[in-house]
Structure 1
């Protein structure tokens, strides 16, 4: 970068934009997002592009040149690269584990836990386990969730209760699984180790899950008679899996091996790669697949065609290419975030917001409601994580709060609240899959609204809030922003 460019970028950009001008790109993106996702029923990528273009136009009216905006976008993309790498590794793991029969084995034994007497608690437990294993709330809902709805309805259980248990369990895994794209996004964009992020989420998610289990225990014992249970759908799934996969308890060694590597402090990238490699060899030597098929599965995902539609939906997934949708969205969103941040527009908005968000409680509460607002306005779970991660990361660090507080809060507010928005991609998907509207299952999706409340309680009490020293703060600012400390105007934290 030339000295002239450096001079332009390093001047105090906070005062370049009035807050009402700075929010114009957000308003344009939100309007285009709502129209595209709800009215046209299309993917949110183009609205993100429109938002980025609007941000560029607003920045250029303030005096920025195109080559400067390009640099801003490149910087934004570079910040997303750690998350992109993990996402691609997750795609490899999912594909190889499905091809190797590892996922089928875990689901097969999980389905045997069905209990007629405590149906809601059992379906919550199974969905929680399976969503952690496969890292996908949608796949869990489309398979075990659909089967659970059929079984529950045969016992005359309120469908909203069943859907609430299914969604609570499915999104527990979406939040806690190292294979989940939202989990890797939240940790990657905040520069937090994937497994440190997951461990820190235990503070809010485990109490929320316990509360959910207790609630469904009492609900379930009052609505289930137990005599009219029909496990036909479950039996069909288990029989189909036995026909097409070698099911063996020995395959549990694959996830156990990955857990052992994690316990020995191996970084997430190498641990996930080893998991993918184990799945690759299981595909060849246990399931009898060819090397070419195993390689293709890791690249393009597993393909199966059975007489059971639920099994097909569950196992036709995974692979490196399956993550390109999320990767492309993250890259585009980070071009938008890059312009907003490095031009100073984001700082103008933050300066206004932080006048209200006083202290740790105010900051964490603001982060949660920002993620919820983006879910409501943009109808997309990923964006509710990506945009606030760039808005608040620097402020958390400057207030001596470890970044993993932010990554946890993004999941508490963004990942979990998406199910309550009927017009969001998650709300539409759940209705299309389970046949229950968001406003019907919302009171029973206990984990999803309990975790954010617990997060605010912890923020108010200081329990479970990780702090950093001044030295660690300076090291983090240098590590994340490098020489950008002079390029990005700092937002005052004395509010």
Structure 2
């Protein structure tokens, strides 16, 4: 541990305080936590950050802002976001989402429908890289199953949200996985392995719990689901390729071409439709990309002005062990997510500080990345004003608060995350090449 950390300047954290006041304050006052756009709030925060250090020229501060926003890790993250958006859009346009959902539903026995929906949601969100997209795809089907079987709608919806958060937390093309891995400097596949070992018990317990809770419901939805297996293959190819360690740029670029070829071969897409799908997918990521740039610039200015040093000193002065450091990182990203209702923003915001703490306490980057993703995901899946529950509640017509008691997986994920810190699970050993093996 570095004992010479500067005490820093707490006033340098004012930009993030301004952001939270604007974003959370407007949500409390209006009852709508999306009334204040996150991008607008961060733009105002960046203006506040530029007001510090009046002795420095404005051009100098803008140079710091731009260099921080243009950090190589951030730029690489942006390109990955754009490619991930394009792949998801092309795969959806050629019917991959519908086929994946229907294939999964076709093989499930009636008395395991709800547990099966959790598994389906997990697979789809791992494949698509988006929890909200998974919920939007599955919620209407879940509502129909609930109506025909008598299973409580909130229970079915909770299973879908849980599955969506499982996959979103692990997917190779999820913006949260990408952000967590890039900010901590580890490979996607390595973070996946560590993260998977931590949350697997939560997933297994959730499946068992859902199966037991719905064992008395024997009715079938009585519906035939049509699908084309070839349209599921691009998702499988991306998942397998990622696990095999294929370069993420090659993986996503190849996935886009593969999905496009499948779409044109099956007649679901023509060349014009493919181009429009790629464009639309990238356009859907533009706001996130701009936001990441602004956050990078603001964090850079706060660090230059001593804000990061203050936080580091504040947290580390209360940390006496490696486990304490891991809990500090978990608490940091949790608080940011609860305030912003966006796990990607929480990871991007907390990531640089988490990396500093991890380096001081020799925490493996993959463990840090997993902590960031797990603790932001579990809270994101449980807050009633988050996009996931808002989307689910809107589709099925029940209160978001009513769904919370059935969010078994996010709750168990939180427990597993805490347990992994307390018991030091999984144990990681470094090889001579400075890579690690999971034991």
> Could you say whether these structures have the same fold, taking a TM-score greater than 0.5 normalized by the shorter chain as the test?
yes
Deviations along 1:175-232, whole A, 9 cap, x unmatched? Answer: 11122222222222222222222222112121110111121122122xx3323x4345
- Partner residue of 2:356 out of 385, 394, 399: 394
- What's the secondary structure of 2:218's corresponding residue? coil
Distance 1:68 1:464, change over 3 A: farther
Distance 1:467 1:449, change over 3 A: farther
* CA deviation after TM superposition for structure 1 residue 463, in Å: 2.3
Distance 1:465 1:152, change over 3 A: same
| Greater alpha carbon shift after TM alignment, 201-210 vs 354-363 | 354-363
- Cα distance in 2 for partners of 1:323, 1:361 equals 36
- What's the secondary structure of 2:405's corresponding residue? helix
Q: Is the 8 A contact 1:361 1:456 kept in 2?
A: no
Q: Is the 8 A contact 1:60 1:66 kept in 2?
A: no
Name 1:335's counterpart in structure 2: 297
Name 1:313's counterpart in structure 2: none
The question of 1:72 aligning with 2:41 is answered: no
Pairs within 5 Å for 1:409-420:
409-420=371-382
Deviations along 1:302-358, whole A, 9 cap, x unmatched? Answer: xxxxxxxxxxxxxxxxx2211112212211221221111233211111211122233
Query: CA RMSD, aligned part only?
Result: 2.6
The question of 1:202 aligning with 2:196 is answered: yes
Q: Is the 8 A contact 1:254 1:279 kept in 2?
A: yes
Pairs within 5 Å for 1:134-283:
134-221=128-215, 224-227=216-219, 229-231=220-222, 235=224, 238=225, 247-262=227-242, 264-283=244-263
Distance 1:357 1:436, change over 3 A: farther
- Partner residue of 1:60 out of 31, 53, 63: 53
* CA deviation after TM superposition for structure 1 residue 164, in Å: 1.6
- Cα distance in 2 for partners of 1:471, 1:284 equals 44
Name 2:283's counterpart in structure 1: 321
* CA deviation after TM superposition for structure 1 residue 16, in Å: 5.0
Structure 2: runs of 5+ lacking an equivalent: none
- What's the secondary structure of 1:401's corresponding residue? coil
Name 2:18's counterpart in structure 1: 28
- Cα distance in 1 for partners of 2:268, 2:155 equals 42
- Partner residue of 2:397 out of 435, 438, 447: 435
Alignment coverage as a number of residue pairs:
426
- Cα distance in 1 for partners of 2:274, 2:18 equals 45
Q: Is the 8 A contact 1:178 1:195 kept in 2?
A: yes
- Cα distance in 2 for partners of 1:402, 1:174 equals 22
- Cα distance in 2 for partners of 1:377, 1:279 equals 37
- Cα distance in 1 for partners of 2:403, 2:22 equals 28
- Cα distance in 1 for partners of 2:431, 2:15 equals 36
* CA deviation after TM superposition for structure 1 residue 391, in Å: 1.5
- What's the secondary structure of 2:285's corresponding residue? helix
- Cα distance in 1 for partners of 2:434, 2:229 equals 45
Larger Rg belongs to: 1
Name 1:4's counterpart in structure 2: none
TM-score (norm 2): 0.88
Name 1:99's counterpart in structure 2: 93
Deviations along 1:130-170, whole A, 9 cap, x unmatched? Answer: 22222221122123123212321443323332222111111
- What's the secondary structure of 1:97's corresponding residue? helix
Name 1:478's counterpart in structure 2: none
Q: Is the 8 A contact 1:37 1:379 kept in 2?
A: no
- Cα distance in 1 for partners of 2:142, 2:57 equals 57
- Partner residue of 1:119 out of 113, 133, 144: 113
- Cα distance in 1 for partners of 2:67, 2:238 equals 33
- Cα distance in 2 for partners of 1:173, 1:56 equals 38
Q: Is the 8 A contact 2:135 2:388 kept in 1?
A: no
Deviations along 1:390-436, whole A, 9 cap, x unmatched? Answer: 11112212322221212111111112211322233444333323334
TM-score (norm 1): 0.79
Pairs within 5 Å for 1:35-50:
35-37=25-27, 39=30, 41-50=35-44
Q: Is the 8 A contact 1:105 1:249 kept in 2?
A: yes
